[in-house]
Amino acid sequence: MQSSSLEETIVAKRSGSSGGWLKEHFDDHYVKQSQKDGYRSRACYKLLEIQQKDRLIKPGMCVVDLGAAPGGWSQVAAELVGDNGRVLASDILPMDSLAGVEFVQGDFTEQEVFDRLMAMLAGGQADLVISDMAPNMSGMRDVDQPKAMYLCELALDMADQVLRPGGDFVVKVFQGEGFETYLASLRERFVKVLTRKPAASRPRSREVYLLGRGLKA
């Protein structure tokens, strides 16, 4: 009887937690706005706010988008670079096609995916690398934080290899162990480094966006 009662309590708590998250999600202003505006995700508004403040994306640019699915950032980038620009996107998850976006599906931690993106650039250089990558979160910070920082390091390595001198970099970083060291590494590479916490980022989230402006030659 005690075991059964405990199981029922756990199920009830899980159901309540899940229901609360779903209600929060669908009541979310940015979720409703994205549906109204025809954007693929609420994350679009994070990039749009950064764009409004920092004017990162201009017509004709070549943009590399890492962790792109379901395509919100690629959608915004493609609109802003226009017909003469290029957006190369990658994610481990599938992504429905988008006009003006070339997509590579696969695990960015694997060399093959990196090589495919480099082949698409065909020796050319990108003006901007954007990364909204994040690992599947377990809820255990000691496990999640190192995984998140590893993806940030990979994104920075990509930026090092494909950005033109003076190019820019945007990356999602979770505050915690490794953050300050990573911030210092950006300051070594870029003329200016800015921190942004868009309004569309949930207040309780540890995520911030670091902007590296002007890759040093």
Annotated binding residues for S-adenosyl-L-methionine, written as ranges, equal 71, 73, 91, 107, 132
Query: What b/e sequence results for 89-108 when a residue is b if at least 16 CB atoms lie within 10 Å of its CB, and e otherwise?
Result: bbbeeebeebeebebbeeeb
Round to whole Å and give the CA distance between 84 and 183: 33
Residue ranges for the binding site? 71, 73, 91, 107, 132
Residues 164 and 170: their CA atoms lie apart, in Å, by: 15
Which of 172, 192, 197, 216 is labelled catalytic? 172
Rounded to the nearest angstrom, the gap between the alpha carbon of residue 191 and the centroid of all alpha carbons in its chain is: 22
SS3 123: coil
Whether residue 147 lies in the annotated active site: no
For the annotated catalytic residues, the residue numbers are 172
